[in-house]
Copies of this chain bind each other. A is one copy, B any other.
Amino acid sequence: MTQPTNFGFGDECALLKDSARKFFAEHLPVDRLHALVAANPAPEAASAAAWREDLWPAMVELGWTALAIPESAGGLGLPAVAVAGLMEEHGRAAFPGPLAATLATSYVLAAADSGSAALEEIAAGRSATLAFANAAGSWHPGDSAVTAKGGRLSGTACFVQEPRKAERLLVAAQDESGLGLYWLASDAEGVTVAPDTIVDLTRDQGRVSFDEAVAEPVGRNGLAAFHAAMPALWTLLAADMVGAGEWQLQTTVEYAQARKQFDRPLGFFQAVKHQLVDVMTRVDESKSLLYNAACALDHEPERALQLAHMAKASAADMAAFASGRSVQCHGGIGFTWECYVHLFFKRQKHSEVLWGDGAWHRARLADILLGEVA
């Protein structure tokens, strides 16, 4: 199968992306975002994990939780490029909440071909998240430290995203068959959420412990489902990072146009100008690679793994670079809490390492492109 020239990004996708941009800009522009998530600057404060829970019904109403769910399971069955467009805007707004986690969960569930009610719950508006990493931070689901026996879960999953915001958990657990997927409410009996205190103010992260918690097994081969879904997860995360990177670029450009030193706008100075150009070219490379990967999910599944690794590897390096330059080019003001750039700086740091950093993805690409080393 080959990809359409335009990435398959047609009018419907453009409409969704545009409406998402407007939704985020209207309901949570960056000043209100800052007031919401950065209210307490104390460096030793616990993560508040603030979000606009009141907006969730509207997002469900717009169909956003159902985008990636097959029509057969009550979803909209939209292509990955459409979801990528939404996530790009999500990142541009540094939007807090369980939408990304819920979409990610829906991809794993869809890959598991479970026929269970889980997908329908999400399509109907339940938020959800994935629990699979161990304490050492391995992103390989097969390393999960949760075990299942007779439908009851034990153990702890770490680096769970949005555990306090998501209503449902999809857990990778070691069971008799290998790795199984289990579905339960995040407030079910035997489930304890211990929030992490994290750098990123727009996200929530935590450890979820299970003590004989009753959960519903879904699908057959959990490992296969995760492997099939990971390219989508990486690609959508890359989309969030590209959106955030574009915000960092535009905001810093505006500052460089407005701020004067030595009777010149900052942007006159090549030291600033050329850094910003380099940010732009990296954002653009990452953006092109992410739509390429998303399009492969839709049209060229045999290359989806490779192209998704490229998208996340590129986005990780871009995010690190764009973040550093956004603070540096803002000078002193960029180093203050009141300037919004730190929100994106911290979100990008979080995204950079989430589900594998640049080096991790490149190592896997090397095995694909150069062969594994004996």
In angstroms, Cα B269 to Cα A271, docked, is 9
In angstroms, Cα B272 to Cα A270, docked, is 9
Residues of B within 8 A of A270 (CB): 269-271, 274
Residues of B within 8 A of A274 (CB): 270-271
Copies in the complex: 2
The 8 A CB mask of A135-147 against B (1 = contact, 0 = none) is 0000000000000
Residues of B within 8 A of A271 (CB): 270-271, 274
Within 8 A of B (CB), among A251-299: 269-271, 274
In angstroms, Cα B276 to Cα A271, docked, is 13
Most buried by B among A269, A270, A274: A270
Q: How large is the interface on A (under 10, 10 to 19, 20 to 34, 35 or more residues)?
A: under 10
In angstroms, Cα B275 to Cα A271, docked, is 10
In angstroms, Cα B274 to Cα A172, docked, is 51
In angstroms, Cα B277 to Cα A271, docked, is 12
In angstroms, Cα B269 to Cα A274, docked, is 11
Task: Please name the residue on chain B nearest to A268 by beta carbon.
Answer: B270
In angstroms, Cα B268 to Cα A270, docked, is 10
The 8 A CB mask of A230-270 against B (1 = contact, 0 = none) is 00000000000000000000000000000000000000011
Give, as a whole number of angstroms, the nearest-CB distance from A67 to chain B.
Answer: 45
Task: Please name the residue on chain B nearest to A272 by beta carbon.
Answer: B270
In angstroms, Cα B278 to Cα A274, docked, is 15
Give, as a whole number of angstroms, the nearest-CB distance from A216 to chain B.
Answer: 44
Task: Please name the residue on chain B nearest to A269 by beta carbon.
Answer: B270
In angstroms, Cα B274 to Cα A269, docked, is 11
The 8 A CB mask of A202-233 against B (1 = contact, 0 = none) is 00000000000000000000000000000000
In angstroms, Cα B271 to Cα A269, docked, is 9
In angstroms, Cα B270 to Cα A269, docked, is 7
Give, as a whole number of angstroms, the nearest-CB distance from A278 to chain B.
Answer: 12
In angstroms, Cα B274 to Cα A270, docked, is 9
In angstroms, Cα B374 to Cα A177, docked, is 34
In angstroms, Cα B269 to Cα A194, docked, is 54
Task: Please name the residue on chain B nearest to A271 by beta carbon.
Answer: B270
Task: Please name the residue on chain B nearest to A274 by beta carbon.
Answer: B271
Give, as a whole number of angstroms, the nearest-CB distance from A276 to chain B.
Answer: 13
Give, as a whole number of angstroms, the nearest-CB distance from A366 to chain B.
Answer: 16
Give, as a whole number of angstroms, the nearest-CB distance from A179 to chain B.
Answer: 29
Give, as a whole number of angstroms, the nearest-CB distance from A255 to chain B.
Answer: 18
Listed by A's residue number, 6 A-B pairs whose Cβ atoms lie within 8 Å are A269-B270, A270-B270, A270-B271, A270-B274, A271-B271, A271-B274
Query: What are the 3 A-B residue pairs with the smallest beta carbon separation, nearest first?
Result: A270-B270, A270-B271, A269-B270
